[in-house]
């Protein structure tokens, strides 16, 4: 086996941005893929993809709960709230990651470390 090549600074930023921004479209799948394939190569990419993954797992669970509450009509408002929250916080995180900064989502249960 060969040792994995380290990630360059530019690629580190791109992967961190993709981990955060990918959650808007693919929920937890984008940060999971980046954490799985590129996380072992770089501590910053692993930390940011893990942070994004924890946030997206929580949002996905909330979205499932919201869908279950659609017959009660409050679910529709909850779905809109979840999607807006995802867009706003993922965008904030992607902008921070593009600047090379670490971002921590508020109100996130950190299941993975």
- The pTM for the full model equals 0.89
Mean pLDDT of 77-89: 96
Mean pLDDT of 10-31: 93
Which residue ranges make up each domain of the chain? 9-98
Mean pLDDT of 44-66: 95
Whether residue 2 has pLDDT greater than 80: no
How does residue 17 score in pLDDT terms, banded at 50, 70 and 90?
very high
| Angle, CA 113 vertex, CA 98 and CA 40 arms, to 5° | 65
How many helices (H) does the chain have, and how many strands (E)?
4, 0
Nearest Cα neighbor of 102 from 33, 47, 40, 55 is: 47
């Amino acid at each position: 086996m060969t040792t994995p090549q380290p990630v360059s600074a530019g690629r580190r930023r791109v992967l961190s941005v993709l981990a955060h921004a990918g959650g808007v479209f693919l929920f937890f799948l984008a940060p999971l893929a980046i954490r799985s394939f590129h996380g072992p190569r770089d501590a910053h990419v692993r930390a940011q993809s893990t942070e994004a993954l924890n946030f997206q797992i929580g949002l996905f669970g909330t979205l499932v709960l919201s869908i279950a509450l659609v017959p009660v009509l409050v679910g529709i408002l909850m779905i809109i709230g979840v999607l807006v929250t995802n867009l706003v916080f993922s965008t904030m995180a992607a902008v921070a990651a593009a600047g090379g900064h670490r971002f921590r989502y508020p109100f996130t249960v950190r299941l993975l470390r």
